[in-house]
Amino acid sequence: TCVDIDAEKIERLQSGEIPIVEAGLDDVVADAVAAGRLRFVTDPRQAAAQAEIVFLCVPTPQDEDGSADLSYIEAAAGEIASSLQVGAIVVNKSTVPVGSVRVVEQVLQRPDVEVVSNPEFLREGTAVFDFLHPDRVVIGGDDLDAANTVAGLYTPLDTEMLVTDAASAETIKYAANGFLAMKISFVNAVAAMCEAVGADVADVVEGIGSDHRIGRAFLNPGPGWGGSCFPKDSRALVSIAADHGYDFSMMRGVIEVNDEQRIRMVGKVAQAVGREIVGEQPLAGVSIGALGLTFKAGTDDLRESPSLAILEQLADAGAAITAYDPTAVGELDRIQQHRLARLQLAESALDVAHGADVVLILTEWHEFKDLDMADVASAMRGKAIVDTRNLLDPLAVKSAGLTYDGVGRR
């Protein structure tokens, strides 16, 4: 039984509509509904009263000071506290600070109910695949029986199972996201160095990634990491460490490199049109065609999208921007909340090139790779391509008479 207090969302799910873009999720949901194994309701108490195991999967957004806001998880736990069966297990699936199992226990005030941590490692866009093929399942709690019961749910997945204490399970989640963010910041810094010394980041990544101690995954340079997880979790990691008297300076550096990366991308656009980001409105009169608004391909999620952060800086510098994204087209309201009120949305990828001085690739949507560069060149006013995802073939771009600048590419 799946509960949400958002009645509209539940209604859409009940009528078979999936409210997010997530590959393969519609089939999984349709099959489970048809088999009578899945239903969507709005009453948490009723659902909790019938459950042996309750997963709390509510958001833990970032508070003003960088810490995680626990109000939703506390509210959800409070709501179900008196309805839970004797001997029920409550599972923290949300990404929550170290110590949150204790917080939920305190809210519940139910000594007969066990609380267990079971962090999630799936990625947006490939969530169904990641869920079915995990590298490991982590479960943390004081009560071994409860932890083993939750572990039993995953038996069909035939994966490595780590059962540990609650604080370790909660730390694993943040440390995993922090490490992945560190890998990306590292490669973005290496890409900047490649540009300085005349090396090619693709070859450098191949050369270091084949060392199995380093690994090839999560070493793609780009406009900086974003999304609903890395930004908030990396700040929370710094904040949790600070709360316990440790200055996690390395993580602060990872975040700083990520902020710099966005600024570097803005600099690349300015450089492509022979301007510099100094003084008032340095990009006045410059027309930019932007490709991609979501924080990565395969999702409709705009949260903490590097694309929006970069476009915001370009708009502040006076540029006129037309953008296209295959999933965020109907999202103008949300985009305008990002202070991009003057952003124009185009109907197709090629449309953004019309009259543009620069075409700027921000999200690695596959359809941008297939753009005919001769068509792009003839639609543009200028001739600069800035590719923050290293998505295009520089030779194809140049042979259409355009200039090309990627990230750390020769």
- Comparing CB distances to ligand UGA, the nearer of 184 and 352 is 184
295 contacts ligand UGA (rule: CB under 6 A): yes
Number of residues that bind ligand UGA (CB under 6 A): 20
Is residue 128 involved in binding ligand UGA (CB under 6 A)? no
- Helices of type H across 15-142: 25-34, 44-49, 71-80, 100-108, 127-132
User: Binding to ligand UGA by residue 226, rule CB under 6 A?
Assistant: yes
Stretch that binds ligand UGA, among 39-47, 119-127, 149-157, 345-353 (CB under 6 A): 119-127
DSSP 8-state class, residue 400: T
**CA atoms in the 13 A half-sphere facing the CB of 313:** 19
Contact call for residue 108 and ligand UGA (CB under 6 A):
no
CB of 177 to ligand UGA, least distance (A): 5
Judged by CB under 6 A, the residue of 60, 92, 117, 177 near ligand UGA is 177
Choosing from 184, 240, 376, 386, the residue that interacts with ligand UGA (CB under 6 A) is 184
Name the catalytic one among 2, 57, 194, 229: 229
Single out the residue of 96, 47, 88 nearest to residue 68, CA to CA.
96
At closest approach, how far in Å is the CB of 143 from ligand UGA?
25
Contact, 167 vs 140, CB < 8 A? yes
Please identify, using beta-carbon distances, which residue of 120 and 316 lies nearer to ligand UGA: 120
Q: What count of other Cβ atoms lies within 10 Å of the Cβ of residue 298?
A: 19
Shortest Cβ distance from residue 37 to ligand UGA (Å)?
A: 24
Strand partners, 322: 289, 344
Nearest Cα residue to 226 out of 293, 277, 174: 293
Catalytic-residue membership of 57: no
**What are the phi and psi torsion angles at 156 (to 5°)?**
-60, -15
Q: Can you tell me the distance from the alpha carbon of 262 to that of 50, in angstroms, rounded to the nearest whole number? A: 48
Two structure tokens written together for 147? 């932890």
**Candidate residues 55, 174, 186, 225; the one interacting with ligand UGA per rule CB under 6 A:** 225
Q: Which of 60, 220, 234, 287 binds ligand UGA (CB under 6 A)?
A: 220
Taking CB under 6 A as the rule, does residue 229 contact ligand UGA? yes
The whole-angstrom separation of Cα 267 and Cα 64 is 29
Report the catalytic residues.
229
Q: Which residues bind ligand UGA (CB under 6 A)?
A: 95, 120-124, 177, 180, 184, 218-220, 222, 225-227, 229-230, 295-296
